[in-house]
Amino acid sequence: MRLTLYTDFSLRVLLYLATKEAEELSTIQEISDRYQISKNHLTKVVHELGKMGLIETVRGRGGGIRLNVKPEDINVGELVRKTEDDFYLVECFRPDGNHCILSSACRLKGALHEALSAYLAVLDKYTIADFLVNKEELAAILFSKPL
């Protein structure tokens, strides 16, 4: 399985915000600079995370973003399901456009579906809080280095 950049950035934004103090605001520019990733992509990610209710956006001078829920309430498997476009590992997983001539008799599809289910089941075991056990180390990396 490969996650899209969209999901990768979503996870990074949530980890970044979870590493900060709960009331502390961050900006998209700040996060973009720290991770050295596209501000345009990040803006879309932040917008969607806001629509999901995971982050709060504070507008105006001195505004920014922060987590809207506790890190232990953000399930990674659920987030991945919401941020990935699809889980069509192979053509025959698609509800439309399946032209594989083996589809009606192929056993590979079942094994791949089982593998995908196991992949997501593992992610379901984790929350963002589980990745903060070394919060001080993450904070040192994210906030101590000059840009």
Sign, CA dihedral 28-30-31-33, equals positive
What pTM was estimated for this model as a whole?
0.89
- For residue 137, give both structure tokens: 């180390």
What lies within 8 Å, CB to CB, of 53 at 6+ separation is: 68, 69
pLDDT band of 114, cuts 50, 70, 90:
very high
Q: How far is residue 17 from each of residues 9, 76, 92, 123, 132, measured CA to CA in Å?
A: 12, 15, 39, 20, 11
- Where residue 147 falls among pLDDT bands split at 50, 70, 90? low
Domain annotation for the chain: domains and CATH numbers: 5-143 (1.10.10.10)
Q: What is the pLDDT of residues 25-74, one digit of tens each?
A: 999 999 999 999 999 999 999 999 999 999 999 998 889 999 999 999 99
Question: Residues of the chain with pLDDT > 90: what percent?
Answer: 72
The two structure tokens encoding residue 104:
């009606």
* Residue whose entry in the numeric block shows the structure tokens 């520019």: 29
